[in-house]
Amino acid sequence: MKIDGRKADGFCRAPGKEIRAILCYGPNEGLVRERAEAAARAVVPDARDPFRLCTLSPARIKDDPARLADEIGALAFGGGRRVVQIGGAGDGLSAAIQSALSIVGDALLIVEAGELSPRSSLRKLFEAADKAVAAVPCYDDTSQNATTLIETHLGALGGAIDDDAAAWLVERLSGDRAQIRGELDKLMLYVGASGGGRVVIDKPSAQAVVGDGGELSLDAVCDAVALGDLAALDRAITRAETQGMNAITMLHAVARHLMRLHGAGGRVAAGQSVDAVMASLRPPVFFAAQAAFRRQIAQWSPARLAEALQLVLDAEADCKSTGMPADAIAARALLRLAGAARSGRASG
């Protein structure tokens, strides 16, 4: 069965005793790991318990296909339900997993995988199975979910955050939960000492600490696209990729930037001054980026921005459905947009 994304966190925190196997898959590696760990800890609270927790690699299963079935059928020394975890799984393990699930046993099998297409044999195995076997998709958080995650994580660390700062962070942090939590931990180390534990946008807390990682690379990608700077775009894409930003993350960042430009440009076209529009934007435009943002408003009409946004959405759909390399699809779309910025054509 397939678990609805809105119910996925709750399901993984408390999988029923009838659940025999869970597949956590998707492009958000941090979320895949977080949900898999939540399901494992729900059954085996002590992550160091060697008698109730077994971790197998795909290579080990391929070398010894019977090992997985043996682990699922084994009883824990001292009693209690066991957990068998597999990381980095792919379609090559589908047959072994299907065979192992026919074994009568009490263990919970947890499988972690990256992005799987609807045609994936592993994904089909879990989605088409009975209610004891579940597939949990793990995609990038929406802005609302990311904001909730930021507020909750900072609150657990004894901190708080202003609304503007939260919105600024959502725009600049990737959708990967592990990366978000890492940046927030770093941020709290800073504001705990200098900001009284509260993250604000008009003091050098969020911008000073979070402004030194991958989100700056995403900002550089967005600015290079919107300004039509092909050389800068090539450098920004390379830097973003080396910092672990995937194609979907880059497309999402550019889409958000185009929507922000579209809203600002529409108000300018309606008669408001650029200064008034930029002063009212939330989160505010970082002072170092204000000159570039002004040029972009002047360079793109609302109609051309709408066409550009559609191109980005089409590229994202192609990344998820065509089977072609996502990095190549995204790079081609971004280069077309940058070319459109230079030539005055939104479709390249």
Question: CATH no. for residue 313?
Answer: 1.20.272.10
Confidence of residue 161 (pLDDT cuts 50, 70, 90): confident
Are 259 and 273 found together in one domain? yes
Are 84 and 30 found together in one domain? yes
The candidate with the shortest Cα–Cα distance to 205, out of 166, 177, 176, is 166
Structure confidence at residue 203 (pLDDT): 45
Report d(CA 297, CA 315) in Å as an integer: 23
- The CA–CA distances, whole Å, from 86 to 110, 112, 204, 327, 334 equal 6, 6, 42, 26, 36
Does residue 204 carry a pLDDT above 80?
no
Are 227 and 268 found together in one domain? yes
Is 203 among the domain residues?
no
Q: Computed from CA positions of residues 122, 127, 129, 134, in that sequence, does the dihedral angle turn out positive or negative?
A: positive
Q: How high does pLDDT run on average in the chain?
A: 84
Are 151 and 103 found together in one domain? no
Does residue 23 carry a pLDDT above 90?
yes
- Considering its fold, how many domains does the chain have in total? 3
Does residue 83 carry a pLDDT above 90?
yes
Place of tokens 């793109």: 300
Is 204 among the domain residues?
no
Are 119 and 242 found together in one domain? no
Are 147 and 130 found together in one domain? no
Are 86 and 23 found together in one domain? yes
Is 104 among the domain residues?
yes
- 137, 165, 181: which is the final residue of a domain? 137
Are 218 and 311 found together in one domain? yes
Residues 6+ apart with CB under 8 A from 311: 333, 336, 337, 346, 347, 348
Q: Which range, 104-118, 214-228, 233-247, is most confident? A: 104-118
- 122, 137, 152: which is the final residue of a domain? 137
Structure confidence at residue 291 (pLDDT): 84
Contact between 248 and 319 (Cβ < 8 Å): yes
Is 50 among the domain residues?
yes
Residues 86-109 pLDDT 10s:
998 999 999 999 999 988 788 999
- 89, 115, 137: which is the final residue of a domain? 137
pTM (2 decimals)? Answer: 0.53
Is 108 among the domain residues?
yes
Are 82 and 164 found together in one domain? no
Confidence of residue 81 (pLDDT cuts 50, 70, 90): very high
Is 250 among the domain residues?
yes
Are 96 and 9 found together in one domain? yes
Residues 103-141 pLDDT 10s:
878 899 999 998 898 899 999 999 998 889 999 999 876
Is 209 among the domain residues?
no
Could you tell me the residue range of the domain that residue 311 belongs to?
A: 214-343
Report d(CA 227, CA 321) in Å as an integer: 29
Least confident of 1-15, 41-55, 109-123, 238-252: 238-252
Are 240 and 320 found together in one domain? yes
Is 130 among the domain residues?
yes
Contact between 192 and 206 (Cβ < 8 Å): no
Are 10 and 124 found together in one domain? yes
Question: CATH no. for residue 107?
Answer: 3.40.50.300
